[in-house]
Amino acid sequence: MNFDFDRPIDRLHSDSQKWQKYTGRDVLPLWVADMDFAAPPAVIEALRARIEHGVIGYAKPLPSLIAATVDYCARRYGWQVDPAWIVWLPGLVTGLNVAAALGEPGDEILCATPVYPPFMSAPTNQHRKAVPVPMVLRNGRWELDFAALARAVTPRTRQFFLCSPHNPVGRAFSRAELEQVVAFCERHNLLLVSDEIHCDLVLDDVAHVPAATLSPATAARSITLMAPSKTYNIPGLGCSFAIVPDPRLRAAFSRAAQGIVPDVNVLGLVAGEAAMRHGEPWRQQLLAYLRGNRDLLEQTIARGELPGIAMTHVEATYLAWLNIEGLQLANAHAFFEQHGLGFSDGAPFGAAKDTHVRLNFGCTRATLTEALARLKRALAAR
């Protein structure tokens, strides 16, 4: 079966956060991380059948969903997950906040920047201190700076928030890099909270390695946050989970969530199961399409058609982290909006002002092509 990722779908008149931001303005929304594609047909079918049932009560995951999740982890990552390790969550940002709430006020939580903003806001929300440690660019590749991370450790440091694959720099960390992460956490006795929401969106030919699988000791100090939501484009349904192998840690995590975090809704559960059971052919074609978009963007920049803009190779995710320092703009985000381009501003990710924007290429080729044309015109008009 062929899936049509070129089909334009009007989201402007739907309940889309991404598109509504620019209602009444000719701005292409290339910001918040959802894609402009319909979810896999198998997911739509399962949702339709669930709606037909008619009763939308309080939800509880079925054994078939739990089995689908365990099978998925075994098939995709060779990870034998005990069903008891799974804690269902209505979102991964929720998971980051619950993890941050472990420990004591004033505890310090490390993360590697630039990074998805909730990595820094979740600790603050929970009266913990977020400690951002800049990544480094080595030979055109973003890497974790282990020396800087070690220098940032204090007696109050308790956790490391890893983003793997990394949003926004698009790295799919190698096993060797993850082994360094794990060794770092062991050396400093840190809880490893690994947000792996983008792990089924690896565009290059490398397998995703969940950090928790590196050793039993790592599993015991880890909370892995996963979801079918990004990959199968169902983030609006909020079906996510934490995998917490250690029973004491899991009990603490569940306690921190109690009374605050709602259950996953019935439609999220149904969609999540259908995606994990039947989504693979769709995912393979999605990856091919996203690779095409990534290559179009990377080649346009490599050909020098966007002077002043640089990027590194996107190994995973549908997000490109554009370095715009060369443009020397005073208010970059507004400048791009004026030229019809709605990027994510880099500053909330921890970048210096007006140095970076994030471009979401989870859109039709036609939208990306139009965005690149607008970008060229914008640069020429400066």
The C-alpha atoms of residue 37 and residue 274 are separated, in whole angstroms, by 17
Locus of tokens 């990870």: 79
Residue 320 touches ligand PLP, criterion: CB under 6 A: no
Quote the least distance from Cβ 375 to ligand PLP, whole Å. Answer: 22
Number of CB atoms found within 10 A of residue 58's CB: 8
Of 91 and 340, nearer to ligand PLP (C-beta) is: 91
8 A C-beta contact, residue 360 and residue 342? no
Interface pick for ligand PLP out of 162, 197, 199, 314 (rule CB under 6 A): 197
> Which C-beta is closer to ligand PLP: that of 196 or that of 354?
196
Which residue in the set 222, 229, 233, 355 belongs to the binding site for ligand PLP (CB under 6 A)?
229
Beta strands in 56-107 (DSSP E): 86-89
Q: Considering CB under 6 A, how many residues would be counted as binding ligand PLP?
A: 13
CB–CB of 235/34 below 8 Å? Answer: yes
Residue window 84-113: x/- pattern of binding to ligand PLP, with contact defined by CB under 6 A: -------xxx--------------------
Residues 279-318 that bind ligand PLP (CB under 6 A): none
Interface of this chain with ligand PLP, residues 113 to 142, rule: CB under 6 A: 116
Is the CB of residue 235 less than 8 Å from the CB of residue 205?
Answer: no
**Binding of ligand PLP at residue 264 (CB under 6 A)?**
no
Looking at the Cβ atoms of 103 and 235, the one nearer to ligand PLP is: 235
- 35 touching ligand PLP, by CB under 6 A: no
Identify which of 200, 249, 201 has the alpha carbon closest to the alpha carbon of residue 223.
Answer: 249
Residue 312 CB, nearest approach to ligand PLP (Å): 17
Nearer to ligand PLP, 20 or 369 (CB): 20
Q: What stretch of H or E contains 273?
A: helix 266-278
Which residues lie below 8 Å from residue 61, measured CB to CB, with a gap of 6+? 88, 264, 269
- CA–CA dist 47, 379 (Å, integer): 44
Q: Which is nearer to ligand PLP, 166 or 277 (CB)?
A: 166
DSSP 346: S
Q: Tell which one of 114, 235, 346, 362 touches ligand PLP (CB under 6 A).
A: 235
Nearer to ligand PLP, 271 or 329 (CB): 271
* Region 145-164 residues binding ligand PLP, contact defined as CB under 6 A: 163
Of the candidates 332, 278, 221, the residue with the CA atom closest to the CA atom of residue 42? 278
Q: Taking the complex as a whole, how short is the minimal distance between the CB of residue 48 and ligand PLP, in angstroms?
A: 23
**Nearest residue to ligand PLP, by Cβ distance, number only:** 91
Distance of closest approach, residue 195 Cβ to ligand PLP, in angstroms: 5
Interface positions, 15-34, toward ligand PLP (CB under 6 A): 33
User: Within 10 A of 278 (CB to CB), how many other CB atoms are there?
Assistant: 17
φ, ψ at 87 (rounded to 5°): -120, 115
Structure tokens at 352: 């210096």
167 binds ligand PLP (CB under 6 A): yes
341-342 and 28-29 beta bridge pairing = parallel
Q: How far is the CB of 236 from ligand PLP (least distance, A)?
A: 9
C-alpha distances (whole Å) from 378 to each of 22, 25, 31, 332, 355 are 18, 16, 18, 11, 16
Q: Packing angle between helix 247-257 and helix 92-100, nearest 10 degrees?
A: 110
Q: Which of 107, 108, 195, 200 binds ligand PLP (CB under 6 A)?
A: 195
> Which listed residue (218, 231, 240, 344) binds ligand PLP by CB under 6 A?
240
Residues that bind ligand PLP (CB under 6 A): 33, 91-93, 116, 163, 167, 195, 197, 227, 229, 235, 240
